[in-house]
Structure formats: C-alpha cells, structure tokens
Amino acid sequence: MVHFNEISAFVSVDGQHLPEYAEEYDEDADKLTVWIPSEAGKEFTVSLTHLNTPYDTSTSFYLDGTWAAGKILYTARGRPGTVPPHETCVCSGVTTSATSEKPLLFAELELTDDDEVLNSGVSSELGEIRVEHWHVIVGDDIPYARSKFKETHQVHERSKKAVSHRAGLGAEKPVKYRPCLSTTNVVKLLTIVFRYRPLSMLQANGLAPRSLRRVNDPATGSGSHGGAHPKRKREEQEIIVISSDEEDDDDLKKLEAKLERLRNKKRKIVKADPDVAVKTEPGKVVEVIDLSDD
C-alpha cells in the first residue's frame, strides 16, 4: 500500500494487496510511481482511501492511458438522503450500464508484424494503472455515459515497448445500481501510477527481490506423509537455499579442510592461574582450541 499524507492506495488480486516496489515521488507533479507484479488471467481491483478531508473528492482510474472509471468520495457531508459519508472508493471494473460492469483483469499482450498496428501507435502508458485524485464540487445527476475504455490486444513487434501484459476485461456481470453525477475539478491532490509487469521481469531488472527457494530436508523424504515419530517430526526443518554457486561450494570445502586440520592438532593444555580457583566436575575435560590461522 502506498501512502501520501492522508491518502493511500493499493491494487488487490484474490483479496490480497499486491506488493509495491521501487517507489518514487515527483514533487513537482505530485506523483507517486511504484511497480507491482501482474499475472495474466487474474482479476484485480484498485482502491483509494482519503482520511480526514473536509471536502468531497473524486478519483479517476486510467488503464493503459485510457479513462476507465470515476468514483466520488462524499467525505464532507455525504449525499443527503442517499449516500452516507465514506472515505474509500474501489474500482473493480468498467461499467457497461447503470447496473452492470466488466471486471478488470491482467491479460497477455500479443505481438504482431501487422504494419497497420505499428502505424496506429501505442500508448506510452501501456502497462500502467494511473489513479488521479481530485478535490471536486459535486453537481447534479446526469444521464449514464458508457465508458469508452477499449482493450489494447496487440502491439507491433518493433514497437520496442518492454511490456508483456495489458489491462483487460472479464465477462459482464450485474452490479448494484449506481447513479451518475457531474463534478467540477477544483485542484488535483495526487497522482499514483502503478506500473505492472510479470514478477520475473521485475526481478530480472532489479526492481523486485528474487524469492528464496525452499527445499525439503532430504533426510525426511518429500514423499512421506505419515508414520513419523512425533519427536522426529518436530525436528524436521526446511532448508532455505539462497545460492548454488560453485564459489560457495569451494568456500565450504576450505572450511571443512581447516576444521579437519584443527581436529588433528595437538590440544593445547591450559595452565590455570594459581590465584584462581576452578571447579571441575568428574568426567569433564576443559580444553581450548586455537582457531587462529596457521
């Protein structure tokens, strides 16, 4: 979740907030930019919260550079008789009527060699979800206007746009009736841009950390599910493999060789200070092993 003063926003998939990486803030433009991981075929929602504001606000959501939806936050007084004050708005889809919408989803972007696609141009905001938050004055009800958002299915293979996903729409579904209202912008409060890419691409470009790989302890056996002794089961642990480089193997061999040399050394006998009393228990030997370099 990104935060700026009393404003916060996030993108969710399967009810979970997507992690954000490499956050940047442009003070001149009042714009926050972050990177998020996308997965083709997954539906997503975009949420924005504005706390403790004395005036009404409006949030516009743009997908790949095209306006997709707008939401009003009646944080000042609500809408008398119909809408109570609220501080959070959620964009879950593109409205197709006052009682229906198509949900948002990440989709694969196709490459083509069709020159007509090349000549039609590609939005510089392909691969971005832009959220603009405004202080507004809310007006009267207006006739419903269908969203003009259109999916970008293809880009030319020579477009040099490092994007493999796009914003898409799912199957139409019914939603609760929502009126349309006019608004007058007073001042833009904040712009938030979520740049989405596959996680592997974010990792390859150093924008997201590489995940740790978990491997089952070979001694426990990965195919066994029952019959283990309770005590042994508690002792089973997972090994986290961070790297498998040959250099790590060489370092380990060197350490093992040094330890073997130390074991074969003649133990040094420590002579106790005659002024210090040392209590020893029967059957125990006190040793000091010199771990300094040869």
Cα separation, 136 vs 189, in Å, equals: 10
In a domain, 251, yes or no: no
141 phi, psi to nearest 5 deg: -65, 145
* pLDDT number for residue 112: 75
> What average pLDDT does range 94-123 have in this prediction?
81
> What average pLDDT does range 100-110 have in this prediction?
93
- Radius of gyration of the CA atoms of the chain, in A: 31
Helix, strand counts (H, E) of the chain: 4, 19
Q: What is the pLDDT of residues 113-134, one digit of tens each?
A: 666 655 566 778 999 999 999 9
Q: Give me the chain's average pLDDT, please.
A: 75
CB burial readout 255-293, b (16+ within 10 A) else e: eeeeeeeeeeeeeeeeeeeeeeeeeeeeeeeeeeeeeee
Least confident among 167-176, 186-195, 203-212: 203-212
Cα separation, 185 vs 238, in Å, equals: 56
In a domain, 213, yes or no: no
Q: How many structural domains compose the chain?
A: 1
Q: Is 50 exceeded by the pLDDT of residue 294? A: no
Take residue 154 and report the two structure tokens written for it.
């293809």
Cα separation, 94 vs 102, in Å, equals: 5
Higher pLDDT, 141 or 28: 28
In a domain, 16, yes or no: yes
CA 152 vs CA 35, 117, 121: distances in Å: 20, 10, 11
In a domain, 267, yes or no: no
Domain that holds residue 62: 2-204
